[in-house]
Structure 1
């Protein structure tokens, strides 16, 4: 039996495995090899790995985990979960049945691309969600923001640290008059109408085409599509969730434990605030440590 079974082997899952491997706990990590940031050319903000391709960072992490004999990495999908603390069972896509005393769920979320031609093709390059991840590289240039609701007003204030040139695309949203007045005060134009297509060139440029009016070219387009968990495994366990402006996240306590004893969660799956490789790595490490400490006798 495994001490801990980790489902999801990106930044959070591997960070948890590292802590558990160093504690000489028997760990199996199941991973599909499809991290959320695989569309990005570079990952930013992770100390010691700034501006490196995310897949390269993960490959290096897996190589480092090879020195820990109690850690096993398996490329497969977890199909189902059952059981309770000290006796969890996981069936993999390869037909293997695994047992574990504890579970760490770190299988992340999947962004739900809108049905706008060019949006999915530009995701992670010319269309991005996070200024902390990509803002420095396009600082001082013309940014665009696809309005997605009340949080977008705060994004306008946030982006000012990177650029003074911002265009807001309402994209069918009814922006309240007081917020529109504030945007006027800040010198930020609002383009009404629905986005019908996004064209890209070889640089970071995106040309936004609308159902009415001329197209608008920007150097980078920020957007926040909704997301959902990459797998429904938490549903079979009946785990509590919290609603966020972009989707749902698993509810965890200060020790990263979910509503079911013995089940921990980390990374974007359990992060309702801000997704980044730094926070995912930190949360994964904490989940691994707290799972290990819960098994002390």
Structure 2
């Protein structure tokens, strides 16, 4: 029996495994190899790894984990979970049955691309969600922001630290008059009408086509599509969740423990704030530390 099974081997999962391996706890990490930020050319804002491809960072992390004999990395999907604290069972896509005293869920989320031609093709290059991840490289240029709800108003104000040239695309949404007035006072134009397509001339730039046919060019486009967990194991377990502006996240306490004792969660799956590799890493490390401490007699 393992001490901990970690489901999801991206930044959060590997950070948790590192802490547990250094405590000489027996850990198995199950991973499908599909991290959310695999579409990004570079990852930014992570101390010591700024401006490196995210897949390169993960590959180096796996190489470093190889020095810990109690950590096992397995390329497999977890299909089901059963049991309770001190005796969890996990079935994998390869037909293997595993058991552990604790679980860490870090299988992340997936972005649900809207049915707009060109959106999915530009995701991670000319269409991005996070100014902290990509803003510096395009600072001072003409940004676009697709309205996705009241949180977009806060984002428009936040973007001023990077650029004073921002166009907001209503995309068919009814933006309240008081917000429109505030945007106008900040010299942020609002383009009404639904987005019909997005063309990518090259680099970070995008041309947004507004139905029935006008075009607006921007140097980069920020958008926040709906997200969903990349697996449904938490539903089968009945774990408590919280609503976020773009989807749901698992509810955890200050130790990263979920509503079911012995199960911890970290990374985008359990982050109702602004996801990033930095927050995923510290959350994973925190989950690993508290999972280890919970097993000390």
1:114 partnered with 2:114: yes
Q: CA deviation at 1:9?
A: 0.1
- Name the residue aligned to 2:45: 45
Partners of 2:165 and 2:142 in 1: CA distance: 5
TM-score, with structure 1 as normaliser: 0.99
Unaligned runs of 5+ in 2: none
**CA RMSD of the aligned region, Å?**
0.5
- Name the residue aligned to 1:93: 93
1:177-196 correspondence runs (5 A): 177-196=177-196
**1:82–1:236 contact (8 Å) kept in structure 2:** no
**1:255–1:286 contact (8 Å) kept in structure 2:** yes
- Name the residue aligned to 2:243: 243
- Name the residue aligned to 2:170: 170
Q: CA deviation at 1:213?
A: 5.0
Q: Deviations over 1:119-166 (max 9, x none)?
A: 000000100000000000000000000001100000011000000000
Partners of 2:84 and 2:142 in 1: CA distance: 52
Partners of 1:148 and 1:50 in 2: CA distance: 29
- Name the residue aligned to 1:225: 225
Give the number of equivalent residue pairs: 297
Partners of 1:178 and 1:213 in 2: CA distance: 28
Q: CA deviation at 1:212?
A: 3.1
Q: SS of the counterpart of 2:292?
A: helix
Q: CA deviation at 1:269?
A: 0.2
Q: Deviations over 1:21-70 (max 9, x none)?
A: 00000000000000000000000000000000000000000000000000
1:23 partnered with 2:15: no
1:262 partnered with 2:262: yes
Q: CA deviation at 1:178?
A: 0.6
1:295 partnered with 2:275: no
Unaligned runs of 5+ in 1: none
**1:205–1:219 contact (8 Å) kept in structure 2:** yes
- Name the residue aligned to 1:199: 199
Partners of 1:236 and 1:214 in 2: CA distance: 47
Partners of 1:233 and 1:253 in 2: CA distance: 19
- Name the residue aligned to 1:80: 80
